[in-house]
Chains A and B, each alone.
Chain A
Amino acid sequence: MSVLSANSRHSLEIHRFPILMYALVPLISLVLQAWLPRVLGRFAWFDLPLVVTVYFALGRRSPIQGTLMGGALGIFEDALTHHAIGINGIAKTVVGFLAASMGVWVDVENRPLRVVLIFLLSLVSSGLYLFVYRVLLGLNLDTNWLAELYKAVGNSVIAAVAFPLLDRFQIRD
């Protein structure tokens, strides 16, 4: 249990990054998210802005920052679609808040744990998206749950590779 919980000083450390990272990484994630489906076609089972949101929320452990970053990236994603602006925004706002809140309770240095968290939060994000679309807005949208599951797996794989790379840019004391 001590492996999972954030009870050591190292585990409670707040990750800090260069200012440029906070601007470039989300922007790159948005650009790649818009461009890669052209190359991969229907096999683009990932959500890079979600991965970035969870990464920074877990590392910063600040629910407010996680909420704002999730909301901003979600609204940008919505703006690139033809759906109403705010659907992804609400989903990723909640995901950013949840990820930052969990970061206080779990050991974010534990890589397998982060991968599992990404998987679960991806499913939460998909569920929230459909909740807003169908229940709040009352719009009709068919869902391919298998694709959502693939997307959660894809996010986990990307997180397993990208999180250690992003960790290298941390500012350490």
Chain B
Amino acid sequence: MESFFVRYRNLLVLLALLAVQIVGLAVQVHRSNSGRMSLDPRDSSGVRLIRLWANALVSPPERLIHSTRDGTVNLWQNYVDLRHVRQQNQDLQKTIDRLRLEQAALLEDARQGERLQGLLHFQEKYIYKTVAAQVIGSSGSQQSQVFYIGKGEDDGLKRDMAVITPDGIVGKVREVYPHSAQVLMINDQTSGAGVILETTRIRGILRGNAAGRLEIVGILSDNRIQPGEQVMTAGGDLVFPRGLPVGQVQKVVPDPDRDSFIDVILKPAAQLDRLDEVLVVTSTQPHFSAEQQKDMATSQTLDGAQVAADAAQKKASEVREERLPGLVEPNLPPEQQPLHDSTPPNPIPAQPPAPLHPDAFSPAAEAGSDTAAPAQQGTQQAAPPGQAKAGAKTPKPHPATPPRRKP
């Protein structure tokens, strides 16, 4: 029996090691409700411990390499920049003062916009707080598109926080350690994000393919999708805020697995293979620092001062109006107002006006041309009855100076 173990010890060690690892793998996967096998999204304590050890072993040298490289690169640049730093500092201070006021106004607008959207039951999220982190390492495997950043639990990072750059989205925090965190990139095969095409408003799920490229899957064939169209986050995945740039449609290919479906290949907006620094969205709720709140208070004070100035100007206008002659007497009824006119506007004359020089074709001449002399006709028509009557009721002429109001 002893000779068996001695003779086959190499093979036995191999089998034992394989068996241990297979059992370890078996506890890490589970069967989902749909019958498909999948990895647990959250690592068990044992697995997390192994990852923590590996990270603790690899991260310090990576940080050392990173800081050494950056320090060497920045040394000369910083020395050159110091030559004009005082003047630049003064200029920047002025810019900061100006931007702070602008920012206060913008924050006020944002807060107002959020209130309005709350009224409309929108659930749009805002990026209010981010943490900048440097990329210190990767998984080292083509099949696992993850990288490590130099900020962790101590900096307020948590699982499933969105990771972005100013250019576009990058991924989400998958695992958090005390001083570092693992980020799952959007071009990994197990990644997923809800996206929407900007022009056609078609929604889809973003993931990575075997080559590490971005693609949108689960889209019915649609010839409206053209290369060059911009793709944004849809905001329905509870990770990425809505409206962040994702990429640009590069080409559309048929889905190899499903007929009548297509895959949309994207060119990512962020440089996924050249990441140095990223932003982790730590809060999508409104959060204003003490300084920002102070600026907003200043802005509101300025608004109040503006309102007070408007009110003072209005009051001055009223005083000036009271000193000027008025056209309306507030204590008298409307029919006794000094400018009251009882005649209807544009009174219609009872008869057409008499011609100044009547002739044979004038209406009066036709009626009694054979009985009246032209001179008489002219005299009679110069003062027709209607006109004389109206002249008797001529309203009083407007007074040159209307009565003053009572003080």
Interface residue ranges, A against B (CB under 8 Å): 27, 30-31, 33-38, 41-42, 44, 63-64, 67-68, 71, 75-77, 79-90, 93-94, 97, 101, 129, 132-133, 136-144, 147, 151
Contact = CB atoms under 8 A, between A and B. Distances in A.
Question: Which 6 residue pairs spanning A and B have beta carbons closest together?
Answer: A79-B54, A81-B144, A41-B273, A142-B210, A33-B140, A138-B37
Given A64-B10, A81-B144, A38 B137 contact: yes
Contacts, number: 157
Interface residues of B, number: 54
30 contacts: A27-B61, A31-B58, A31-B65, A35-B65, A38-B138, A63-B14, A67-B10, A71-B21, A79-B55, A80-B55, A80-B137, A80-B141, A80-B144, A80-B146, A80-B148, A81-B140, A81-B143, A81-B144, A83-B143, A83-B144, A85-B28, A85-B47, A86-B28, A88-B141, A89-B21, A93-B18, A138-B36, A140-B36, A143-B210, A144-B142
A133 B39 CA distance: 11
Contacts of A81: 139-141, 143-144, 146
Contacts of A133: 143
Nearest to A89: B21
B268 to A, nearest CB: 12
Interface in B14-51: 14, 17-18, 21-22, 24-25, 28-29, 36-39, 47, 50-51
A35 B138 contact: yes
Interface string B260-302: 0000000000000111000000000000000000000000000
Given A37-B138, A82-B184, A144-B142, A93 B54 contact: no
Q: Quick one: which of B13, B137, B142, B190 has the most chain A CB within 10 A? A: B142
B57 interface: yes
Contact of A132 (B25, B209, B211, B212): B25
Given A94-B14, A147-B211, 20 more contacts: A31-B58, A33-B140, A34-B62, A34-B140, A35-B62, A41-B273, A67-B10, A71-B17, A79-B54, A82-B139, A82-B190, A84-B39, A84-B47, A86-B22, A87-B25, A136-B22, A136-B25, A140-B36, A142-B189, A142-B209
B17 A34 contact: no
B17 A68 contact: yes
B182 interface: yes
Contacts of A38: 135, 137-138, 147, 275
B242 interface: no
A67 B143 contact: no
B128 interface: no
Contacts of A86: 21-22, 24-25, 28
A82 B62 contact: no
Nearest to A67: B14
Contacts of A36: 140
Given A30-B57, A76-B57, A42 B143 contact: no
A93 B20 CA distance: 12
